[in-house]
Homo-oligomer: A and B are copies of this chain.
Amino acid sequence: MTAPEPLFLRACRRQPVERTPVWMMRQAGRYLPSYRAVRARHSFLEMCRTPELACEVTLQPIDQLGFDAAILFSDILITLPAMGLEVAFPEKGPVISSPVRDRAGIDRLAVPDPTAELGYVLEAVRQIRAGLAGRVPLIGFAGAPFTMMTYAVEGGGSKDYPHAKQLLFGDPASAHALLDKLARTCAVFLEAQVAAGAQAVQIFDSWAGVLSPEDFRAYALRYAKQVIDALRASPTWRGGGGVPIIYFVNGCAPYLTDYATSGADVLGVDFRVDIGAVRARIGEAAALQGNLDPGALFLPPEQIRARVGEILAKAGPIGHVFNLGHGVMPGTDPAHVRAMVEAVKELSARPAAPASPAGPA
Which A residues are within 8 Å of any B CB, using their own CB?
157, 159-162, 164-166, 168-170, 209-213, 215, 251, 253-254, 271-274, 293-299, 303, 325-327, 329-331
> Which B residue's beta carbon lies closest to that of A210?
B272
Q: Once the chains bind, are B212 and A298 in contact (CB under 8 Å)?
A: no
Contact between chains at A162 and B212 (CB < 8 Å): no
A331 to B161, CA, bound (A): 11
A162, B293: Cα distance in complex, Å: 11
Q: Please, which residues of chain B bring their CB within 8 A of the CB of A159?
A: 157
> With a CB–CB cut-off of 8 A, which chain B residues contact A210?
272
Smallest distance from the beta carbon of A177 to chain B beta carbons, Å?
A: 17
A-B contact pairs, 19 of them (CB 8 A): A160-B294, A162-B330, A162-B331, A165-B293, A165-B295, A165-B298, A166-B298, A168-B298, A169-B295, A169-B296, A169-B299, A170-B298, A209-B272, A212-B274, A212-B296, A213-B272, A213-B273, A215-B293, A253-B254
Q: With A165-B295, A169-B299, A296-B169 in contact, do A160 and B272 touch (Cβ < 8 Å)?
A: no
Are A170 and B251 neighbours in the complex by a CB distance under 8 Å?
Answer: no
A160 CA to B329 CA, complexed, in Å: 8
In whole angstroms, how far apart are the Cα atoms of A326 and B303 in the complex?
35
Residues of B within 8 A of A296 (CB): 165, 169, 212
Known contacts A165-B296, A170-B298; 13 additional CB pairs below 8 A are A160-B329, A165-B294, A165-B329, A169-B297, A169-B299, A209-B272, A212-B274, A212-B293, A213-B274, A215-B293, A251-B272, A253-B254, A253-B273
Contact assessment for B168 and A295 in the assembled complex, using a CB-CB cutoff below 8 Å: yes
A316 shortest CB reach to chain B, Å = 18
* A274 with B293: CB separation less than 8 A: no
Q: How far is the CB of A25 from chain B (nearest CB, A)?
A: 12
